[in-house]
Amino acid sequence: MALTLAEAVKLSNDMLLQGVVETIVKDSPVLQRLPFIEIVGNGLTYNQEKTLPGIDFYDVGDTWAESTPTFEQLTANLKIMGGDADVDNFLKSTRSNIQDLEAAVIELKAKALRDKFEDIFIYGDSATNAKEFDGLRKLIDTETAGNQVIAVGDTGATLTLAKLDELIDAVKGGKPDMLLMSRRSRRKLNALVRAAGGMTETDRDQWGNFIQLWDSVPIGVNDWILDTHVLVGGVETDTTGGASSTIYAVQFGEGALCGLTSPGHLQAEPVGPLENKDASRTRVKWYVSLALFSSVKAAALIGVQD
């Protein structure tokens, strides 16, 4: 069963871990909704759905034609991400609010882990760096002109509401669970809606934060999506040196886009006193990866310019 981080941590009595998870989830639209499957071993080999089998009508006595779905076998390996948070013993003994000091240091480490995950969630490429997992850009493969990649012009163009609707329609089997974009793209979307004499819908998440919706699909902002992509001939050729951005539409779930993790999910591990310095250490670590089980559950709108 796939659980979000927020739901999985409810099964733990570790107060430190609960604090770390709350810190990284409450400001991350992706981690609030992305479910994770616990896997045994260091990776998962799965069949990604590509096309459905054919269906036809027949008369009595007709010869029935056989057709099968097509799949692509992929492997997602768990990757190790994390870092150590050290608290100096002198500061512990000279500060009155000792627990607040340690909590503040661990909180900053947790925020750094969240930022790193959101960056790799978009731009991760195991072919470039074998230590990281493949991100959304690689899983959708925006460097090829496939059905799930919609270009706003050959070299990029201004966003239109019609193109955003086309992006939503590219995700099959129900609406996307999220539209993920940069802050510049969200500002442009707001300007388009206001120019049309309307307003985007709003709602609140479980932490009380306001969220915007377009066509009833929540809008998530990812600060790591660049506005400097380069398009040539309707495909992305680079992520820097240009003036374009990308908007992603994704469905989350076990048959769609899903995170992979080891049993126990995220871990906050007290290492204890250090030998080489007068400090104690807490290690925040996560064995994690990403899998897209069906290619039609995610799509990208590339070439979005201001």
pLDDT band at residue 141, thresholds of 50, 70 and 90? confident
* pLDDT of 200 above 80: no
Higher pLDDT, 248 or 193: 248
Q: Say if CB 78 and CB 43 are below 8 A apart.
A: yes
Residue 157 resides in a domain = yes
Q: What domain count does the chain have?
A: 2
Q: Say if CB 301 and CB 156 are below 8 A apart.
A: no
My answer on whether 188 and 284 are in the same domain is no
Residue 238 resides in a domain = yes
Cα end-to-end span (Å), the chain: 41
* pLDDT attached to residue 8: 64
Ramachandran category for residue 264: left, alpha or beta (phi over 0 → left; psi -120 to 50 → alpha): left
Range of the domain at 227: 148-251+297-305
My answer on whether 261 and 199 are in the same domain is no
pLDDT band at residue 13, thresholds of 50, 70 and 90? low
E-assigned strands of 52-129? 70-77, 79-88
My answer on whether 122 and 239 are in the same domain is no
CATH code of the domain in which 194 resides: 3.30.1930
* pLDDT of 16 above 80: no
* pLDDT attached to residue 241: 93
Rounded to an integer, what distance in angstroms lies between the CA atom of residue 230 and that of residue 241? 6
Residue 142 resides in a domain = no
Query: What average pLDDT does the segment 254-265 reach?
Result: 88
pTM: 0.87
- Mean residue pLDDT of the chain comes to 86
* pLDDT attached to residue 116: 93
